[in-house]
Structure 1
Amino acid sequence: MSDPVYTHLLALIGTAGDLKTLRGLRDQIQRQMEARLTERPVEQLYFNLNGMHDALIGRVIVLAEAEMARSGNGPPPVPYAYLLFGSGGREEQTLSSDQDSGLLYGDPKDESEKEAVSAYFESFAVIVVDLIKQLGYPPCDGGVMSTNSEWRLSLSEWKAKLNGWFEDPDWERVRYLLIVADGRCVYGDPMLMRSFQDFFFSDMLQNPVIVKHMRSNTMRHKVLIGVFGQLLREEYGQDAGSLDIKYGAYIPMVNAVRMMALQSGIRESSTLERISGLVRNEKLSAGEGAEIAEAFRLFLRLRLMTTERSVDGLLSNNGKLAGGRMSKELIDELKSGLRIGKRLERRVNK
């Protein structure tokens, strides 16, 4: 069901001319959504949340292009695609989100223009990242950012980098490949992203050794349910008694579904869309797909319950659900969902 207030605020984002207005609109939408967390289906909540994040980032990019023009750099010299990775790439961002980004741009027709094009997008990325930071999105701790030259490349440079990662797949490079697998274009030329994905999947599917390395990297986060069906909660510190929803439920299922999807050549980045793709490709039965999707929806809902408002008004999320918030009914739901996650984990390992 459409929400006229949300739709109106989203339209205002698309015409906002300054950062103060954008920040006010983000706060308005988030307050509205916080108040309705228990009323809306989880997929609708995430659809609206990620629609907001996408709209804000897209508008910031428009403002950054204008700033580049005002400073004498002119319009973008070649087509480009601004990329999101992580939960942003999967369209699974919560009320809080950091910046996991990259930049892909077309190769100039004249080789002599290569340095000037690179310099343009270096300056452009700095403006974009700074503006997004001012909207309340902190930079990625791991440095996966469009301001990092490793994640800001022309199409030919990206292809060369991917080749290098595939040819020498150490742990870190395989981690980068898995990050790239979750990427999507949030603004810019979608055809550039399609060319990028064509290359990624052709390389990966022709290299069976990569699949083995990816599986090893993928399964490092385990579902937090014990051999006797008990929840494996935090034992010490200020989070004692809590359950790590992010790394003990959500991420293991994201990783397992991604692994199966990549082996099947499924290009969707959303976990629920990947599950649907696995059913279409007959890698999962309809019953298995429905069971896994239902468990994943539970984990998505619980992730929203771990969000807290900080002193400065920003939202943060440590991914841990306090023991006091877990009713007997919820614990039973969790155990059921985690058992499904454990079975999926075993399937991928085999």
Structure 2
Amino acid sequence: MSSLQREKRLLDITGAGSPDSLRRIREEEQNRLGAILSSSPVIELVDDLNELHDSLIGRALQLAEIEMARLGQGAPPVPYAYLLFGSGGRREQTFSSDQDSGLIYDDPQDEAEALTLENYFRTLAQLTVDCLIEIGYPPCEGNVIASNPEWCLSISSWERKLDAWFEEPSWENVRYLLIVADGRLIGGDRELSERWYGRFHRDFLGTPVIARRMMENTLRHKVLVGVFGQLLTERYGELAGSLDIKYGAYIPMVNVFRLLAVHAGIQETSTVGRIRSLETAGILSPDEAKESMDAFGLLLKLRLMAVTKSEDGQWVGTGVLKASDLNREWKLPLKKALKLGRKLQRQVERELRYRFGGR
């Protein structure tokens, strides 16, 4: 994408005064990117697509602030940070990603202010979420979203919540910690987000048992390649003969590099950034990093291909592709990527069990 095109798109988004306007920009830009998917370097295209998403989400947050002022609530009374999790936090959103978000605001001075801040930021979060729904971002099915009071808290409340998750490493709490590991700032105060993310990393390094729990959680998704190198397709139902690209290929790779990065103290949240940082840290050799980057790039492209358009023209992510739709030129690299994913899973499992114990 040329710098002139990028500037024009940013100006269009910045000048948009309604969710409908932002929705039209999103549809036009995604149609453009979809048309060049097969001919474009996938990492560059994903970067372009996620730059679009970031701009749209940032403008939705601004529109919510404007609406708060119109309602007589004024400007934000204290600094706050709006966070993205999931594929948004990793800068890996597709044409059809949903909302995974949270909000942090500065601590109140007393109980009276605590109620004022709580009411203000819960309303702001709800307005932002509603605006994004109108733009075409459905809410997270797991309710990890800023409009959920559990994910819209003061910084001290957030720190206590993180501490509690680390102190009681249940399956659900570890799942939340893995979600937090992908979090990044999309709008608001950087110092708050850095304080929050710094607390996560300090607690992680001080709680060795979490390493084993994270490993058990993240390695539960197995890659869709058999012992003889064959692709494992869905066997039953309407998806019979399909490949689960999202959960059988993409997610296992995301999980491995997240786990390696967090254990190395790397605070990068994108998978591509984590691979590069792991190479810089000497954890991956240059050859391993290149192989990993090539494999992950392929999975990103296949994930973008695993979408359909609904009757109203909206992109809908399925996460699956028919094996019959992939010719030999696709299948051979996919098998290679999946074998690498399986190899990395085994390496991580052996290393962490040696270091931290477990079955």
Secondary structure at the aligned position of 1:232 is classed as: coil
Secondary structure at the aligned position of 1:145 is classed as: coil
CA distance in 1, matches of 2:327, 2:284: 32
State the partner residue of 2:9.
9
Secondary structure at the aligned position of 1:99 is classed as: coil
State the partner residue of 2:149.
149
Runs of 4+ in 1 over 2 A off after TM superposition: 1-7, 108-112
State the partner residue of 1:292.
292
- Superposition deviation, residue 111 in structure 1: 4.5
Note if contact 1:6-1:29 (Cα within 8 Å) is conserved in structure 2.
no
Superposed CA offset, 1:80-138 (max 9, x none): 11111000000000111101111111112344311100110111111111110011111
State the partner residue of 1:46.
46
Superposed CA offset, 1:18-58 (max 9, x none): 22211111111111111111121111111111111111111
- Superposition deviation, residue 161 in structure 1: 0.2
CA distance in 2, matches of 1:46, 1:332: 23
State the partner residue of 2:101.
101
Q: How does 1:297-312 map to 2 (within 5 A)?
A: 297-312=297-312
CA distance in 2, matches of 1:223, 1:3: 39
Aligned-pair identity (%): 51
Aligned: 1:194 with 2:217: no
Superposed CA offset, 1:206-250 (max 9, x none): 111011111101101011100010000111222211111100010
Which amino acid in structure 2 is aligned with residue 191 of structure 1? E
Q: How does 1:200-349 map to 2 (within 5 A)?
A: 200-349=200-349
Count, aligned residues: 350
Secondary structure at the aligned position of 1:38 is classed as: helix
State the partner residue of 1:69.
69
- Superposition deviation, residue 2 in structure 1: 2.4
Which amino acid in structure 2 is aligned with residue 178 of structure 1? L
Secondary structure at the aligned position of 1:185 is classed as: strand
Note if contact 1:104-1:152 (Cα within 8 Å) is conserved in structure 2.
yes
Q: Which runs of 5+ in 2 are unaligned?
A: 351-359
- Superposition deviation, residue 324 in structure 1: 2.7
Task: With the length of structure 1 as denominator, give the TM-score of the two structures.
Answer: 0.98
Secondary structure at the aligned position of 1:175 is classed as: helix
Which amino acid in structure 2 is aligned with residue 302 of structure 1? L
- Superposition deviation, residue 3 in structure 1: 5.5
State the partner residue of 1:88.
88
Backbone CA RMSD of aligned residues: 1.1
Q: How does 1:104-183 map to 2 (within 5 A)?
A: 104-183=104-183
- Superposition deviation, residue 149 in structure 1: 0.9
Deviates more, 1:9-18 or 1:94-103: 9-18
CA distance in 2, matches of 1:10, 1:36: 20
State the partner residue of 2:26.
26
Label 1:240 to 1:7 Cα distance change in 2 as closer, same or farther (>3 A). Answer: farther
Note if contact 2:20-2:134 (Cα within 8 Å) is conserved in structure 1.
no
State the partner residue of 1:78.
78
Secondary structure at the aligned position of 1:139 is classed as: coil
Note if contact 1:257-1:274 (Cα within 8 Å) is conserved in structure 2.
yes
CA distance in 2, matches of 1:7, 1:223: 40
CA distance in 2, matches of 1:322, 1:7: 38
Superposed CA offset, 1:277-310 (max 9, x none): 1111111111111111110000001001111111
Secondary structure at the aligned position of 1:321 is classed as: strand
Q: Which runs of 5+ in 1 are unaligned?
A: none
Note if contact 1:99-1:139 (Cα within 8 Å) is conserved in structure 2.
yes
Secondary structure at the aligned position of 2:37 is classed as: coil
Note if contact 2:19-2:132 (Cα within 8 Å) is conserved in structure 1.
no
State the partner residue of 2:355.
none
- Superposition deviation, residue 341 in structure 1: 0.6
Note if contact 2:50-2:92 (Cα within 8 Å) is conserved in structure 1.
yes
Which amino acid in structure 1 is aligned with residue 202 of structure 2? S
CA distance in 2, matches of 1:290, 1:2: 27
CA distance in 1, matches of 2:325, 2:90: 27
